[in-house]
Structure formats: C-alpha cells, structure tokens
Amino acid sequence: MKRVMILLPTLNEEEGLSLVLPRMPYEKLKQSGWDAKVLVVDGGSDDLTSKIALEHKCQFIHQQGKGKGAAMRLGFLHFLRESYDALVMLDPDGTYHPEEMVKMLKKLEQADVVVGDRLRGAMDPDAMTRTNYFGNHILTWIAVALYGVPMNDLCSGYWAFSKQSISMLKLNSMKFEIEAEMYTSCAAEELLISHIPIRYSKRLGEAKLGSVKDGWNIFRKLLVRRVFTTPHQNRIEDGNLNIR
C-alpha cells in the first residue's frame, strides 16, 4: 500500500469539516492502493473544529501563527518528516468534494502535481461570487502570461502532489497567496502540472478570504516570484502535533 496524506487547513470550519470528514473515500482509495491519513492544521478555531477533527481520528496541529499559507507549509513539513508517498490538500469548507481525490491520485501517476480545475469543471450556480469568478480568471491569465506554464485555475484549493514535488517546493507565503506560490515554484522546478475538472459548491460557514485584499496579495506574489524565483528565507513555525 502507498500512503497519502490528506491535508486540511481550518479556521472555524466546524460546519464544513463535519460534512467533509465522513465523506473521505477511504474504501475507494484502498481499492486503488492508497492508505490515507488526514492531517488538520488549524489556525486557532474557537468553535468545534478541533473536537470534530479528533472525533474522526484525524491528526491535528495547532499552528502557532495564523494564515492558510503558513498552515499549508507546516503541513508539508510534517508530510516530509513521515513516510508518505503523496499529498492531497483541500479546503474543508464544503466547496470541494473529497470523492474526487481518487481520480486526482490516478492522474498523479502521469504528473508531478495535479490541480483540481473549478473554472472548467462543474461550478454550482451559487458557488462563487461574480467578483471571485472574474478575479480567478484574471489572476490565472496573468500567471500564465508571466510564467508560460499551463495553469487553468491558479487559486484552486484542491491539489495533489507526489512526495518528490513537495520536497522541491520553495515557499514562504503566509496567507491566501500560497497557491500562486505553489504554481510559481512548480514552474521554477519544472514540475509537470496536470489538470482535472472538478465540481465546486457553495461554501458552508464564513469565508475568511477578502477578495480585493487577497487578490492583490496574490498578484503581488506572482510579480515578486517572477523576479526573485525563490524565497529568501523559508519560514515555518512548528505547531503542536496531537496524534490520535
């Protein structure tokens, strides 16, 4: 059996997490040769997020700082410390469908990285605001114009990686610019990115992303990494790992 880590970033995500965790396709993954373990990296939720994660026997880390980017990098660090073969990340806010990771891991056999593509997938009518829809298209277009590497959905929160590709990423994002930096780092390391259309649904609970401010930070990250290909310093604050 190969081992896959399913990495979930959370900040007050009790509603989404309680819907997403029971839908993890453990059986289907097993049939495809994958033994899966979930790691939740939490940014200090004050709702029932940690309780739900532990009830479902997830590994749980309290990140010491804040931000999705810092959380993902901490998750990557733990991934590399253990003997996993692949990593799948998705936001557990009800927007992404855990069942779809089976086909993403299948596709990973022919690529280093697989991105779940919402923009060419099945988007539920009320899943994305008009501002985010145009913002996602524009940022994706800018990324491809700057880096010349195919990308269909820059800000997707559903990615699968081989172990080797995670070990090659060089990242320092703290917040929602993390996916953009994952793309720029894949481009720098010449990793093969493949896409797969996915369904995208309306979020449960409250959004943490501010469209304009975070959109601007993503744009800025694309520009900075075009000039300075790799981060000066790879800052990751360790968290407290609570293994159940």
Ligand X SMILES: Nc1nc2c(ncn2[C@@H]2O[C@H](COP(=O)(O)OP(=O)(O)OP(=O)(O)O)[C@@H](O)[C@H]2O)c(=O)[nH]1
Q: Is 78 in the site for ligand X (CB under 6 A)?
A: no
1/122 with CB nearer ligand X: 122
C-alpha distances in Å from residue 59, one per residue of 23, 48, 50, 143: 17, 15, 10, 34
The interface with ligand X within residues 163-182 (CB under 6 A) comprises 176
Q: Is 239 in the site for ligand X (CB under 6 A)?
A: no
To ligand X, the closest distance from the beta carbon of 75 in angstroms equals 9
Which residue lies nearest ligand X, judged by its C-beta? 43
Query: Residue 167: which residues within 8 A CB-CB, separation 6 or more?
Result: 80
What's the CA angle centered on 230, arms 219 and 168, to 5 degrees?
Answer: 110
Taking Cα atoms as reference points, which of 23, 29, 24, 25 lies closest to residue 3?
29
Q: How many CA atoms lie within 13 A of 189 on its CB side?
A: 20
166 by Cβ neighbours in 10 Å (0-12 / 13-18 / 19+) ranks as: buried
61/193 with CB nearer ligand X: 61
Among 91, 112, 177, 179, binds Mg ion (CB under 5 A): 91
Among 5, 6, 7, 9, binds ligand X (CB under 6 A): 9
Q: Is 67 in the site for ligand X (CB under 6 A)?
A: yes
To ligand X, the closest distance from the beta carbon of 148 in angstroms equals 25
The interface with ligand X within residues 186-205 (CB under 6 A) comprises 203
Q: How many CA atoms lie within 13 A of 239 on its CB side?
A: 27
Q: Is 43 in the site for ligand X (CB under 6 A)?
A: yes
Query: Residue 222: which residues within 8 A CB-CB, separation 6 or more?
Result: 139, 142, 143, 146, 147, 180, 184
Question: How far is it, in rounded angstroms, from Cα 125 to Cα 192?
Answer: 31
Among 14, 15, 91, 177, binds ligand X (CB under 6 A): 91
Among Mg ion, ligand X, none, what does residue 208 contact (CB within 5–8 Å per kind)?
Answer: ligand X
Q: Is 71 in the site for ligand X (CB under 6 A)?
A: yes
To ligand X, the closest distance from the beta carbon of 136 in angstroms equals 9
Q: Which DSSP category does 108 fall into?
A: G
- Residue 113 — φ and ψ, nearest 5°? -140, 140
Q: Is 93 in the site for Mg ion (CB under 5 A)?
A: yes
Binding residues for Mg ion, rule: CB under 5 A, are 91, 93, 95
Binding residues for ligand X, rule: CB under 6 A, are 9-11, 13, 41-43, 63, 66-68, 71, 91-93, 95, 132, 157, 176, 203, 207-209
